[in-house]
């Protein structure tokens, strides 16, 4: 089986589960088929080919994951470098900061007074006279101060331009720095044998 025959009914890069490949995965598949399509598929593909000549979606995902894992460290470094250059396409539209606060004061106060007077009467008198006097005074009060403050910040990001422009920009950048060539060659080295089948 030639690689282009496999890719005619299967996918590779879109199934790797890598965010940087989500928007350009299909284009990379087409480029891989164009540049390496005449090469003979390796056992990583042929062992999953069913009787009707196709590969199930589950096995396509296994193949895609395997290719990515074999080059993950190198590819992730390239993807990070490219992503930092594509990031300016994400515009910071607005940043809204809301400060809210509430302070509640509660005051309750007062005093209570109580006077105690003792009286006595002589043994030969029916009249009582004060013997002692005690005054008790209680002052009470309470002050509560509750504060509830904070800040909410909302940042809105929006991609500028259409999706097609982003794809074109990304592919052009990848091509300029050889990322596309590297990724396609790495994938082909795993998926194919170093043999071309000539068209009859």
pLDDT value of position 92:
46
The rounded distance, in Å, linking the Cα atoms of 50 and 200 is 25
Mean predicted lDDT score pLDDT of the chain? 76
128 & 174 share domain: no
- In terms of domains, do 77 and 8 share one? yes
Distance of alpha carbon 116 from the chain centroid: 74
Asked if 82 and 173 touch (Cβ cutoff 8 Å), the reply is yes
Cross-strand partners of 136: 114
Indicate if 8 and 78 belong to the same structural domain. yes
Number of H helices, E strands in the chain: 7, 4
Residue 80 parent element (H or E) = helix 72-86
Q: What is the pLDDT of residues 32-77, one digit of tens each?
A: 999 999 999 999 999 999 999 899 999 999 999 999 999 999 998 8
Predicted structure pTM score: 0.57
131 and 53 share one domain: no
Question: In sequence order, which residues have a C-beta less than 8 Å from that of residue 98 and are 6 or more positions away?
Answer: 151, 152, 153, 154
What pLDDT, on a 0 to 100 scale, did the predictor assign at position 84? 72
- Which residues constitute the domain of residue 109? 104-150
166 and 189 assigned to the same domain: yes
Q: Give the domain-ending residue among 131, 150, 169.
A: 150
Q: Are residues 172 and 91 in the same domain?
A: yes
At 44 the three-state DSSP class reads helix
The low-confidence residues of the chain, meaning pLDDT below 70, are: 85-150, 152-169, 196-200
Claim to verify: residue 14 and residue 83 sit in the same structural domain: yes
d(CA 145, CA 64): 62
Let me know whether 110 and 17 are in one domain: no
Is residue 23 domain-shared with residue 82, that is, in the same domain?
Answer: yes
63: left (phi over 0), alpha (psi -120 to 50) or beta: alpha
pLDDT the model gives residue 49: 95
pLDDT over 70 percentage in the chain: 55
């Amino acid at each position: 089986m030639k690689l282009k025959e496999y890719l005619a009914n299967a996918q590779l890069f879109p199934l790797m589960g890598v965010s940087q490949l989500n928007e350009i995965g299909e284009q990379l598949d087409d480029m891989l088929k164009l540049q390496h399509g005449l090469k003979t598929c390796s056992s990583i593909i042929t062992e999953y080919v069913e009787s009707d000549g196709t590969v199930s979606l589950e096995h396509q995902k296994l193949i895609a994951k395997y290719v990515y894992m074999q080059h993950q460290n190198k590819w992730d470094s390239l993807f990070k470098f490219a992503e930092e250059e594509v990031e300016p396409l994400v515009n910071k539209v607005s940043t809204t900061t809301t400060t809210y606060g509430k302070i509640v004061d509660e005051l309750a106060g007062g005093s209570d007074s109580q006077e105690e007077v003792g009286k006595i009467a002589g043994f030969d008198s029916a009249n009582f006279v004060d013997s002692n006097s005690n005054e008790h005074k209680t002052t009470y009060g309470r002050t509560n101060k509750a504060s509830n403050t904070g800040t909410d910040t909302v940042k809105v990001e929006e991609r500028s331009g259409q999706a097609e422009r982003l794809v074109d920009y990304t592919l052009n950048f990848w091509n300029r720095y050889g990322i596309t060539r590297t990724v396609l060659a790495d994938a082909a080295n795993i998926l194919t044998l170093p043999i071309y089948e000539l068209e009859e």
